[in-house]
Amino acid sequence: MDDVIYKSDGDNIRLVEKMRVRKFFEDLRDKMHFELIVDAGFDQRYFNQRDLHRPGLALAGFVELFTHEKIQILGNTENYYLLSLSEEDRKKSLDKVFQFPMPCIIITNSNKVLPEMKTLCQKHNVPLLVTNFSSTDAIHLISAYLDEVFAPEISMHGSMVDVYGIGMLLTGKSGIGKSEIALDLVERGHRLVADDTVKISRLSETILMARGHDTLKHFIEIRGVGILDVREMFGIRAVRLQKRLEVQVDLQLWDGKEEYERLGLDEEMVDILDVRIPSIKLPIYPGKNITVIAEAIALNLLLKIYGYDAAKEFSAKLMQEIQNKDTKSKKSNIYLERDFE
Amino acid sequence: MIEREIIVSNKAGIHARPAALLVKTASKFDSDVFFSCDGTEVNAKSIMSVMMLAAAMGSAVKIKIEGSDEEEAMNALIALFESKFNEE
């Protein structure tokens, strides 16, 4: 069996169903300074929970609703509690907890491993690790890793570019010129994240992260030319490995019947993995400089993030002008009468 | 060529959203469409121009249309003015 088992949730979405404990250990060994105490069950045990659990209540004897299928973190509290018990009570407490299958136990603060604990782990095939991090830090670091592992992922056809720090996904039919625009943007100093296939994962309720495919790296296909290596051609500053996805630009062949946004007062949105981001439908035709428009989209989005919305400002000014039209136009007429510039 | 004059009857006048509606409607037709107000004539298919008119409630807007589908275009635009652009 593989280290990571995936399941598909329809719609091309890929989810991690479960992960082998050995893989978890190997990925985090250096970061977490893990010391391996018991490796029994390392290969057989899988876990499917992104949350961690501190089994304080379970050790105290309350095992109803004990979420034993999560990775268990034993901090100072749990450790001192166990030490405070008589040998007999400690055995009882641990036996009760070890009735349940657990994927892995992690002892924090480099606390000394109780011999009974080690024996029980070996007997029940529960891997046991020690880290020198405090419980708070350990939970924080491991959760960040698990959030990423269990993030739902989707593959989209398009080009992903960092334009002035805004993560822009160019989409549109095959052959419409996504790669060419990406190349043009790179030429102007922006950074390519991925071309053709973009992997997008949901890191939190509001954050989408886009990255390229491992084999495609920063290669790009330009019709009529063939395959180019953007990193080799333009250097390291022209590429990046991942970028938060912030706006979709959907390229479409100009169609006189289609209605395009004229004001920008209403932002059209698209849901990707249930995260809502602005989506701009951009008609293209020969002679139109999409690269410059892509830059303008990024800059306008930055202005909005910083609190200035050009369409709203203009609209408000126009409203005001309509309301004061009579008085204002008379005043400016008197002024302009004497203006011979 | 046909011409008609109509009074802006919505409270807020031709601000951004009504202007966008007018331009979208005018752009559906092949005919050339012009609006004029207070002696300024603008192309009705250009949003910035239409907004520049800043036509307030009560202003008279002259619609001038020339082309193969001028009748349909005129009817559509008049209907839009009369609907007060779905506003007050």
pLDDT tens sequence across A108-154:
999 999 999 999 999 999 999 999 999 999 999 999 999 989 999 99
Question: A335: pLDDT confidence band, cut at 50, 70 and 90?
Answer: low
Residue type, A332: S
**A99-113, A157-171, A261-275: which range is least confident on average?**
A261-275
Whether the CA torsion A172, A173, A176, A179 is positive or negative: it is positive
Residue A327 clears pLDDT 60, i.e. is over it: no
Asked if B15 lies within 8 A of A325 by C-beta distance, the reply is: no
Closest by CA to A159, choosing from A249, A74, A279, is: A249
pLDDT band at residue A14 under the 50/70/90 scheme: confident
Among left, alpha and beta (phi > 0; psi -120 to 50; other), residue A87 is alpha
| Predicted pLDDT at A334 | 63
Ordered domains of chain A (ranges, CATH) = 4-149 (3.40.1390.20), 153-314 (3.40.50.300)
For A178, the 3-state DSSP assignment is helix
Place A260 in a pLDDT band, splitting at 50, 70 and 90. Answer: confident
Q: pLDDT-derived band of residue B88, with 50, 70 and 90 as boundaries?
A: confident
Q: Can you give the pTM of this predicted structure?
A: 0.80
Rounded CA-CA distance B16/B11 in Å is 13
Q: What percent of chain A has pLDDT over 90?
A: 73
Question: What is the arithmetic mean of pLDDT over B31-51?
Answer: 92
pLDDT at B67 over 80: yes
DSSP states of A274-330: TEEEEEEEEEE-TT--HHHHHHHHHHHHHHHHTT--HHHHHHHHHHHHHHTHHHHHH
Catalytically annotated residue among A178, A211, A218, A243: A178
Q: Does B24 touch chain A (CB under 8 A)?
A: yes
Per-residue pLDDT, averaged over A321-336, amounts to 66
pLDDT tens digits for range A26-49: 999 999 999 999 988 888 899 999
Question: Left if phi > 0, otherwise alpha if psi is -120 to 50, otherwise beta: which for A148?
Answer: alpha
**Residue B6 pLDDT greater than 90, yes or no:** yes
Q: Name A242's Cβ contacts closer than 8 Å, sequence gap at least 6.
A: A193, A209, A210, A211
Contact status of B23 with chain A (Cβ, < 8 Å): yes
Strand-pair partners of B60: B7
CB A222 within 8 A of CB A183: yes
Interchain contact A325–B (C-beta under 8 A): yes
CB atoms within 10 A of CB A49: 15
Q: Which amino acid does the sequence have at A91?
A: K
**Is 90 exceeded by the pLDDT of residue B73?**
yes
Q: Does A332 touch chain B (CB under 8 A)?
A: no
ipTM at complex level: 0.83
Which residues face A159 on adjacent strands? A170
Tokens 């690790």: give the residue.
A129
pLDDT above 60 for A328 = no
CB contact under 8 A, A311 and B13: no
Task: Tell me how far the alpha carbon of residue A136 is from its chain's centroid.
Answer: 23
Torsion of CA A164, A167, A171, A176, to 10 degrees: 20
A9 is catalytic: no
Q: Report how far residue A198's alpha carbon sits from residue A192's, in angstroms, rounded to the nearest whole number.
A: 11
Residue A258, chain B, CB below 8 Å: the answer is: no
Residues of A in contact with B23 (CB under 8 A): 262
Residue-level pLDDT at A266: 85
Q: How many Cβ atoms from other residues are within 10 Å of residue A84's Cβ?
A: 9
Residue A159 and residue A176: Cα distance in Å, rounded?
12
Beta strand residue intervals within chain B, DSSP E:
2-7, 32-37, 40-43, 60-66
Please give the sequence-ordered ranges of beta strands (E in DSSP) within A21-78, or none if there are none: 35-38, 46-47, 52-53, 71-74
The mean pLDDT value for A326-332 works out to 54
- Whether residue A20 has pLDDT greater than 60: yes
3-state secondary structure of B49: helix
Contacts of range B19-27, beta carbons closer than 8 Å, 24 or more positions apart:
B19/B47, B19/B50, B19/B51, B20/A262, B20/A263, B20/A265, B20/B47, B21/B80, B21/B85, B22/B50, B22/B77, B22/B80, B23/A262, B23/B47, B23/B50, B24/A259, B24/A262, B25/B76, B25/B77, B25/B80, B26/B73, B26/B77
User: In this model, does residue B52 exceed pLDDT 80?
Assistant: yes
pLDDT value for A329: 55
Q: Which residues contact A226 (CB under 8 A, 6 or more apart)?
A: none
| Known active-site residue B5 | no
Structural contact between residues A19 and A108, judged by C-beta atoms closer than 8 angstroms? no
Please give the pLDDT value at position A175: 85
Please check the confidence at residue A255 and state whether its pLDDT lies above 90.
no
Average pLDDT for B72-85? 95
Closest CA of chain A from B34, distance in Å: 18
With beta carbons less than 8 A apart as the criterion, state whether A238 and A186 touch. Answer: yes
pLDDT tens column, A210-243: 999 888 889 999 989 999 999 999 999 999 999 9
Mean pLDDT of chain B: 93
Note the pLDDT of residue A126: 94
Best residue in B10, B14, B15 for a mutation probing chain A (most A CBs within 10 Å): B15
Q: Do B16 and A322 touch (CB under 8 A)?
A: no
Chain A contact for B56 (CB, 8 A cutoff) = yes
Task: Round to whole Å and give the CA distance between A159 and A218.
Answer: 11
| Residues A265-294 pLDDT 10s | 888 999 999 999 999 999 988 778 999 999
Report residue A175 as tokens: 């052959």
